[in-house]
Amino acid sequence: MLRDRFGRPATHIRLSVTNRCNYSCIYCHREGLDRVDEELSPEDWDFLVGVAVKLGLKFYKITGGEPLLYGGIVEVVNSVRRHGGIPSITTNGYLLEEFAESLARAGIDHINVSIHSLKRDIYAALTGLDSLDRVLAGVEKALKWGIKLKINYLVLKPNVDEVSDILHFASSYSADINLIELIPLGVSRELYEKLHVNLDSVVQYLETVSVRKDMESFQNRTVYILPSGSRVYVIKGYGNPLMCAACSRIRIGPNGRMKLCLYGNFYQDLRPLIEARKEAELTKAIASAIEMREPYFR
């Protein structure tokens, strides 16, 4: 297993397979990656994953853009499983009903579905698309196929009064939930101030409704366990040295550029090595970059 000079292992990797998205969410930070048109092929991702798994990168979060718009998404999930990794997907859910069966058969471990409001008007205002009913149908289909679900809920001023509702919704499906604080990345200062909610009040509420509180080793996330058994992860990523101290993640963009941190500006172009199928050189490039990782907030 590779570690950086701060002793942090690299075990998680986000594969942003496409920049394309059918939503226009007002809070989108695009994974901190440059907008590009070039995309690696499913065969390219297969080669990359094969190398990365050997280096100890075990957990693969496939994202975008909207990853279900990527033509070879099922093949990528298959590749991760075949090489011994654990694949999951973060999706807006618009195409989930269509893809649930094939993703389940491909061996998806779980799916994060972004549902930032249970009110159609607020959902549409935040995402640019009146598609909440379609997303909820996709959730039902995924559950039918036995896929574990986690709800991503970005807590904002327009939806903060729905926190109890989204916890009840998640509990009704035995789903876990990420309660996420907005970060000042990809949005203007004016919009950030208009939308941002400090999660302290949400944490106080969770203290009253949970039956237990744990700490997850990945990024030192606080986890509240509800009476239903659903786990609520509080994600306060910005200005959080505790989270950075336990970060074990790197990122690969659609065009094969590697980024070591959501907030950082370090990129390494892996695409030439991937397309040339140069395993030894790619292994060295990934390993050397991981040694350079450092906590963004200290």
Phi/psi at 161 (nearest 5 deg)? -75, -5
CATH class, 12-291 region = alpha beta
pLDDT tens by residue, 239-290: 999 999 999 999 999 999 999 999 988 889 999 999 999 999 999 999 999 9
What are the distances in angstroms from CA 245 to CA 5, 203, 218, 251, 295? 12, 21, 10, 17, 6
User: In angstroms, rounded to a whole number, what is the distance separating the alpha carbons of residues 130 and 272?
Assistant: 40
- pLDDT in the model for residue 34: 75
- pLDDT in the model for residue 218: 86
**Domain locations along the chain:** 12-291
State yes or no: pLDDT of 137 exceeds 90. yes
Mean pLDDT in residue range 189-211:
97
User: In angstroms, rounded to a whole number, what is the distance separating the alpha carbons of residues 102 and 41?
Assistant: 19
294: which 2 tokens?
Answer: 């450092």
* Average pLDDT in the chain: 96
Closest C-alpha among 235, 297, 291 to residue 264: 297
Q: Which amino acid is at 187?
A: V
pLDDT tens by residue, 51-87: 999 999 999 999 999 999 999 999 999 999 999 999 9
| pTM, to two decimals | 0.96
Report yes or no: 15 and 61 within 8 Å, Cβ to Cβ.
yes
Q: What residues have CB less than 8 Å from 285, skipping those under 6 apart?
A: 268, 270, 273
